[in-house]
Amino acid sequence: MSVESPASTPETIAAPARTAHHRRYLMCRPEHFTVSYTINPWMEPAKPTDTAKAVAQWQKLYDLYLELGHEVELIEPLAGYPDMVYTANGGFLIDGRAYVPKFRFEERAGEAPAFADWFRAAGYDTIIPEEVNEGEGDFLLVGDVILAGTGFRSTGDSHREVGEVFGREVVSLNLVDPRFYHLDTAIAVLDPVQGVENGGPERANIAYLPGAFDDASRAILEERFPDAILVSDEDGSVFGLNSASDGRNVIISPRAKGFEKQLRERGYNPIMIDLSELLLGGGGIKCCTLELRGAK
Q: Which of 70, 159, 287, 288 is catalytic?
A: 287
Is the separation of the CB atoms in 248 and 275 below 8 Å? Answer: no
Instruction: Clarify whether 287 is annotated catalytic.
Output: yes
Contacts of residue 267, Cβ cutoff 8 Å, sequence gap at least 6 = 2, 15, 16, 17, 18
Instruction: Clarify whether 22 is annotated catalytic.
Output: no
What are the DSSP calls for the chain, one per residue?
-----TTS-SS--PPPP------EEEE---TT----S-SSTT--TTS---HHHHHHHHHHHHHHHHHTT-EEEE-PPPTT-GGGG-GGGG-EEETTEEE--B-SSHHHHTHHHHHHHHHHHTT-EEE--SS-B-GGGTEEEETTEEEEEESSSS-HHHHHHHHHHHT--EEEEEB--TTS-SGGGTEEES--S-EEETTEEEPP-EEE-GGGB-HHHHHHHHHH-TTPEEPPHHHHTTTTTS-EESSSEEEE-TT-HHHHHHHHHTT-EEEE---HHHHTTT--TGGG-EE--S--
Is the separation of the CB atoms in 107 and 37 below 8 Å? Answer: yes
Q: Which of 28, 159, 182, 288 is catalytic?
A: 182
Q: How many angstroms separate the CA atoms of 129 and 102, rounded?
A: 7
Question: Would you please indicate which residues are annotated as catalytic (active-site) residues?
Answer: 182, 287
